[in-house]
Amino acid sequence: MNLNIGVIKGDGIGPEIVTEAMKVLDKVAEVYGHTCKYTQLLMGGASIDVHGVPLTDETVAAAKACDAVLMGSIGGDAGTSPWYRLEPSKRPEAGLLKIRKELNLFANLRPAVLYDELKGACPLKEEITEGGFDMVIMRELTGGLYFGERSTGEINGVLTARDSLTYNENEIRRIAKRGFDIAAKRRKKVTSVDKANVLDTSRLWRNVVEEVAAGYPEVTLEHMLVDNCAMQLVKDPKQFDVILTENMFGDILSDEASMVTGSIGMLASASLNETKFGLYEPSGGSAPDIAGKGIANPIATILSMAMMLRYSFDLDKEADAVEAAVAKVLEKGCRTIDIMSEGKTQIGTEEMGNLIAESI
Ligand code: NAD
Ligand code: IPM
Ligand code: MN
């Protein structure tokens, strides 16, 4: 099969972790007889440096022409990077939001799985992690607070900022269906997370989710308020199968879920639309504090690449092979610094990529 892949290496640790994911993908292609055509695309700070904007229309068109896009992460340190002296619409993050919106990537899947081998890196007590856990966060990605009208200005002489939160029933219905479709193939439980005790958008969310649930009698639906969910994630993460939630709540809860799997460096993600196209990226950021040191964990990016094989190319066997290779290297006791625990061997980004590629 010919895989036509756009690659956004991005900023900070982005180039380091994407290089390792491409190395593993090249090995998969070699072993399973595929060919990869890579198109390098600029986004975020790397695009600002060349084009003055975080994402050009040409790059959007080039991304659309690919079957899928593999991405590192974008952004810099807001305190020190010159990118953050630009107006908000020209900063690195605006590029990420633009590509999500332009490609209609409304469904963001973030699987949080505690590998047996990583229990030592999980900050929770053993009795909580016993038996492991395996959940998917289905985060709405193109609506809500991120895309509402915003403004800053004086109202009655007082400097005031405003971000607005809007959802319509269609946006909620399509993400809810995705959540239930996934749950139907898993442990058949959806936890819909909202703030229906306060927000109108959440009350609409709850009603529409109820309506969608009626079409999936085999799936159990429970509603949970977001503050309780944040607490339940550390109290008893095993209770979750699919967490279905809006954009901002999903952003926050997925970082929390990543830590109970050991590290943000383990959390993969797929951003999908109604077609086979997808944007695959680790859930974490560009980690400016460790960029260039060769110590970042590339596993989230490698597992995102596995999701790309599965969702955009239907190459399940190959995706399984990547996931098994990750598990095998962890079993051997090899760890990047973020998942390091007593008695294990600390290795760098490149060595982790090499070992996973060799295990394919
Ligand atoms: P971050 O996720 O970059 O870093 C948070 C902490 O996690 C840091 O200590 C970092 O070293 C660590 N970390 C993250 N990824 C890691 C990895 N693969 N291996 C080991 N450690 C890892 O979050 P932040 O510091 O809040 O944000 C930094 C920049 O990244 C900001 O500009 C932000 O906007 C951007 N960001 C981008 C994305 C994206 O491109 N999808 C996601 C989140 C944040
Ligand atoms: C993520 C990131 C982005 C988000 C930022 C960089 C805009 O945190 O992908 O989780 O909030 O969606
Ligand atoms: Mn985030």
- Is 105:139 a contact under the CB 8 Å cutoff? no
Picking from 105, 256, 280, the residue whose alpha carbon sits closest to that of residue 178 is 105
Catalytic residue check, 255: yes
- pLDDT value at residue 243: 98
CA angle 230, 231, 237 (to 5 degrees): 85
Catalytic residue check, 227: yes
**Best mutation site among 109, 264, 267, 301 for ligand 1 pocket (most ligand atoms within 8 Å of CB):** 264
| Dihedral over Cα of 295, 296, 300, 305: its sign | negative
270 among the known binding-site residues? no
Catalytic residue check, 195: yes
The fraction of the chain above a pLDDT of 90, given in percent, is 95
Q: What is the CATH number of domain 1-107+267-360?
A: 3.40.718.10
User: Could you tell me the CA-to-CA distances from 17 to 77, 237, 266, 270, 352 in Å, in that order?
Assistant: 18, 28, 12, 16, 10
Picking from 327, 322, 335, the residue whose alpha carbon sits closest to that of residue 265 is 335
H or E stretch covering 162? strand 158-163
254 is written with which tokens? 């997925």
132 is written with which tokens? 């492991």
Ligand 2 centroid–CA 146 distance in Å is 10
Catalytic residue check, 251: yes
Unique residue bearing structure tokens 């972790």: 17
Name the residue with the closest Cα to ligand 1, atom 20: 296
Residue 222 CB neighbours (<10 A)? 11
pLDDT digits (tens, 9 = 90+) for 7-52: 999 999 999 999 999 999 999 999 999 999 999 999 999 999 999 9
Unique residue bearing structure tokens 């639906």: 221
Q: What are phi and psi of 271, to 5 degrees?
A: -115, 120
Unique residue bearing structure tokens 């997925």: 254
Q: Number of C-alpha atoms within 13 angstroms, CB side, residue 125?
A: 4
Q: Under DSSP, is residue 205 helix (H, G, I), strand (E, B) or coil?
A: helix
Unique residue bearing structure tokens 């050991």: 262
Catalytic residue check, 188: no
- pLDDT value at residue 34: 98
Name the residue with the closest Cα to ligand 2, atom 1: 283
Report the alpha-carbon distance of residue 311 to residue 57 in Å, rounded: 25
SS (H, E, C) 91-137: CHHHHHHHHHHHCCCCEEEEEEECCHHHHHHCCCCHHHHCCCCEEEE
**Best mutation site among 73, 251, 301, 303 for ligand 1 pocket (most ligand atoms within 8 Å of CB):** 73
What is the domain partition of the chain in residue ranges? 1-107+267-360
Residue 218 CB neighbours (<10 A)? 8
Report the alpha-carbon distance of residue 184 to residue 186 in Å, rounded: 6
Ligand 1 centroid–CA 289 distance in Å is 9
CA 35 to chain centre: 26
Ligand 3 centroid–CA 83 distance in Å is 19
Report the alpha-carbon distance of residue 36 to residue 244 in Å, rounded: 33
- Is 146:139 a contact under the CB 8 Å cutoff? no
For residue 275, the 8-state DSSP code is: S
Buried b (16+ CB within 10 A) or exposed e, 193-216: bbbbeeeebbebbbebbeebbeeb
Instruction: Report the greatest alpha carbon distance in the chain.
Output: 67
Residues paired with residue 192 on neighbouring β-strands, in sequence order: 223, 244
pLDDT tens for the chain, residues 1 to 360: 999 999 999 999 999 999 999 999 999 999 999 999 999 999 999 999 999 999 999 999 999 999 999 999 999 999 999 999 999 999 999 999 999 999 999 999 999 999 888 988 899 999 998 888 999 999 999 999 999 999 999 999 999 999 999 999 999 999 999 999 999 999 999 999 999 999 999 999 999 999 999 999 999 999 999 999 999 999 999 999 999 999 999 999 999 999 999 899 999 999 999 999 999 999 999 999 999 999 999 999 999 999 999 999 999 999 999 999 999 999 999 999 999 988 999 999 999 999 999 999
Is 246 a pocket residue for ligand 2 (Cβ < 6 Å)? no
- pLDDT value at residue 278: 98
Q: Which protein residues have their CB within 5 A of the ion that is ligand 3?
A: 251
Model ipTM value: 0.98
- pLDDT value at residue 116: 85
Ligand 3 centroid–CA 281 distance in Å is 11
312 among the known binding-site residues? no
